Amino acid sequence: MLSNRLKNITPSYTIGISKRVAEMKADGIRIIDMSIGEPAFDIPKASKAKGISAFESGYTHYDLVPGLLPLRKAIAEKLANENGVHYDASEIVVSSGAKQAITNALLAALNPGDEVIIPAPYWTSYPEMVKLCGGAPVIVQTDASSDYKITEAHLKAHFTSKTKMLILNNPSNPTGNIYTRDELLSIADFCVQNRIWILSDEIYESLVYDTKFVSVASLSEQAKSIVFLVNGLSKSAAMTGLRIGYTAAPAPVAKYLSVIQGHLVSHPSTVSQWAAVGALTEGQDEMKERRDVYKKRRDIIYDKLCTIKGLSVQKPEGAFYFFLDMSPYKQKFPFSEHYSVELCDTLLNQEHIAAVPGIAFGKDDFIRLSYAGDLNDMLEGLDILKVFLEKYL
């Protein structure tokens, strides 16, 4: 009776793990949670103040579908000042999290059966979102030789007459890798020449540690004309529960995103939007301080991971994850079907450590550890992980 669309949709692994961790904690078990995809920080003070004042001022009614004008202006200013890419407020649509921004873009771009190139490892929801919007995900495996990033050569090898879009996650969840300007130039050139949209998911853009982040839309007017630039406040301002994301796109495209959103949800919560105005206009310093905290944490954890025998660790350049290759332990670890799932199940049930299986990102030999939670807990967890893994060498 239900839609065929649901037949091959997989529930979110990450949400499934969070649920199990919550259940185990409710049973009184202490879990060291390295599966989390959200900052443990509170929202910036300015966000809180603006949100409270919005409630008190009665800003709780319907407003403009693409988002509050002061918010869209603040986003346009942020994109110009920090990313060197110029959009008018009319080219910005504020949505309920980056998830909805991505869904709006897919609904706007895809006809049934259109192919969307998704480099693996990928953020777990992309393939399912593409399927839900009627498209066909084309998973392109990448490896260490390109730092797990897609290249023009990959695109050439997988491009067909049905290719409609490339999803580029920069910085990447799960690897934390960042595309250089030159890498983006060759990808953008190929996509411009072959009329392929680029959905550039830049949700981790504020968490970049060693290099300067380059937004693909900032490369040229031609590049900008094919980009749906998606970002939001979930990771930068820890506003995960307030659900504010946005898309910047050429004016005629933004108009359609607004039409889609108008029918689906109207707009995100007005109170959350005012909180986002606070973050973008007065919360920048606090957000930068947090980035510095994450950078220090990344370095400490990297050093600790490097002491685990058999593990080769790539230092992530951004986001708050380590994506670890578990293949050295595979031979001796007893598993029947999905190595990363069974490894993470054992870690959770036996060692009380939560990690996300790589299969959720299209790579079954890997696991993802997040350092967004408590540092001391994580260091304790890594001691346990070291003893656990070295048994399988």
Q: Which of residues 170-189 bind ligand PLP (CB under 6 A)?
A: 173
Region near ligand PLP per CB under 6 A, out of 19-27, 92-100, 108-116, 368-376: 92-100
Applying CB under 6 A, the span of 95-103, 250-258, 282-290, 341-349 interacting with ligand PLP comes to 95-103
Q: How far is the CB of 103 from ligand PLP (least distance, A)?
A: 10
**Binding flag, residue 169, ligand PLP (CB under 6 A):** yes
Is residue 94 within the footprint of ligand PLP (CB under 6 A)?
no
Give CA–CA dist 41/62, Å, rounded: 30
Does 340 participate in binding ligand PLP (rule CB under 6 A)? no
Contact 231, 245 (CB under 8 A): yes
Of 228-257, which residues contact ligand PLP (CB under 6 A)?
A: 232, 234, 240, 245
Contact 10, 128 (CB under 8 A): yes
Considering only residues 128 to 167 of the shown chain, the ones binding ligand PLP according to CB under 6 A are: none
Q: Are 257 and 30 in contact (CB under 8 A)?
A: no
Q: Which amino acid is at 190?
A: F
Candidate list 35, 37, 197, 364; residue touching ligand PLP; CB under 6 A = 37
Question: Which whole-number Å values give the CA distances from 220 to 105, 165, 168, 225, in the listed order?
Answer: 21, 18, 17, 9
Contact range with ligand PLP by CB under 6 A, out of 26-34, 93-101, 190-198, 268-276 = 93-101
Of residues 199, 203, 207, 226, which one binds ligand PLP by CB under 6 A?
A: 203
The whole-angstrom distance between residue 341's C-alpha and the CA centroid of its chain comes to: 21
Which residue is nearest to ligand PLP, using beta carbons?
97
CB 355 within 8 A of CB 372: no
Closest C-alpha to 176, from 199, 146, 139, 208: 208
| Dist. CA 54–CA 41, nearest whole Å | 22
Residues interacting with ligand PLP, by CB under 6 A?
A: 37, 97-99, 123, 169, 173, 201, 203, 232, 234, 240, 245
